[in-house]
Amino acid sequence: MSWSASENNTIDPVRVAVLGAGHAGRGLASYLSMYGFDVSLYNRTITNVEKISKRGGIKVQGLFEAFAYLPLVTDDIAKAIKDRDIIIVVVPAQAHTFFAKTLSPFLESGQTVLLMPGRTGGALEFARILSSQLDTDNILLGEAQTFSFVSRITGRDSVLISKVKNSTRVSAFPASHNRLFMRSLRRLPITFNMADDVMETSLDNVGAMLHPTPTILCAGLLESKEGGYNHYHDAISESVGRLVERMDAERISVSREFVSQSVSLLEWLRSTYDAEGTTLRECIRSIDTYDDIGSPSSLDHRYVLEDVPTGLVPLSYLGRLAGVETPAIDAVINLACQLYNHDFWSSGRNLRSLGLEGLNPSEVREYVRTGFMPEKYPELHEISDMFELEVDEI
C-alpha cells in the first residue's frame, strides 16, 4: 500500500530507540516511523547506516511504499537511548552480552527494554549482566519469542517489508512485571500477546528449529553455489522436515518441564502465517511469504552462528537440567561443531550464563516468576552433618 507522512494519523508521544540496523532493525524502525513515532536508529558501525543518516530516513517497499523519516541515526548508544521510552534490541542474540554491558551505564529509570527476539534465555542473560552493574528495579526488561516482521535490506537506504506477523508473544523478566510491560508495549502499533514468562518465550524459539538444521544439511550446495536457493522451500525437504519435527518434539518435551503450555512448530506456523498442512514440508510450502526468501551465501551466517549457540545449546542444557534427553538436537549441535571446527557447547549459553545453575525445574519456574532466587533449605543429611548427629537423632 502507498503511504505518506501526511497519512500518519496515529501520532504518539512515545519515543522509541531501535538498536541494530540490519534486516530486522531497519524494517522495525521504518514501520514505527510510518506510524508517526519518533524513532532513533543505532548501529555499531556508522558506515553501514551513513546513507540513511544523510537522507534522514529509509525508503520502504513491499507491503508499504513510503519514506520513513528517522531524525536520529547514530553509532553513539548514549544518544540513541537518551530520553527514549522504549528501547528495542534487534540484533543477533550472540550480541546481547555486548549490548547489556554497553547499555547499562546509560539506562534511565522508567525505560522499557525489549529483546526482539530473545532466542533461548536472552532476557535471563541480559538481566544477569544488567543486575551486576546497576539497580534494575525501575527498568522493565523482557523479550519477544520472535521478530514481528519479515523484512530484508534492498539497498544502502532501503528495506522491503513483506509480512507483518499476526501476533508476537512477549514476556517480562520477572513475570511479575508482565502487566506493566504489556502496558508499555501496547502503545506500539504491533500486536503483542502476553506469555506466562520468559521460559515460555525462550522455549518457543522456532528459529532454532527452522534455521540451523536445513543450513547445515545444505552445506555442500550452499558453498558450491554460494547460495542461490530458497532456504525454506528448497532446503526443508520431506526428510529434513521430519528431522526438524523430531527436534521440535524434543523441544516440546523440555518445554513441558518448565511451562504450562507449549506450542509446536506446526501450530506456530498455522497461527502466525495461516499455514496449511499436516507436515512441516507441507506447511512451509503453503506460506506465500517464504516464496521470495533466499538462502545464506556462505556458512558464516546467523542461521547457524546465532541459532546454535543461543538456541539449540541452551535448549539442550535445559533438557539435561530437567532430565529430558535431546538426541536429535544434540546431533545437530555436534555436527555444527565438526563442520565449523568450533566448540559451540562451550561458547553457547549455558545454565551459568542464564543464572540458572544449581536450580531444579520448579526453582527455575519460581525464579522467572519473581526474579528472586529460591531459598535453599538444607536437606536432612546436611543438617545431620552440620551438627555431627546421626539421622535418627533428629
Active site positions, annotated: 211, 307
Give the integer Cα–Cα distance in Å for 115 and 348: 18
**313-322 and 238-255 helices cross at what angle (nearest 10)?**
50
Grid cell, residue 155, equals 539497498
What are the φ/ψ torsions at residue 68 (nearest 5 degrees)? -95, 115
Give the integer Cα–Cα distance in Å for 39 and 86: 10
Give the integer Cα–Cα distance in Å for 359 and 60: 47
In this structure, how many other beta carbons lie within 10 angstroms of the beta carbon of residue 41?
A: 30
**Cα angle: 108, vertex 355, 138; to 5 degrees:** 20
Task: Determine contact, residues 97/68, Cβ cutoff 8 Å.
Answer: no
Helix (H, G, I), strand (E, B) or coil at 194: strand
Give the integer Cα–Cα distance in Å for 377 and 240: 47
Q: What is the number of alpha carbons within 13 Å of residue 360 lying toward its C-beta?
A: 4
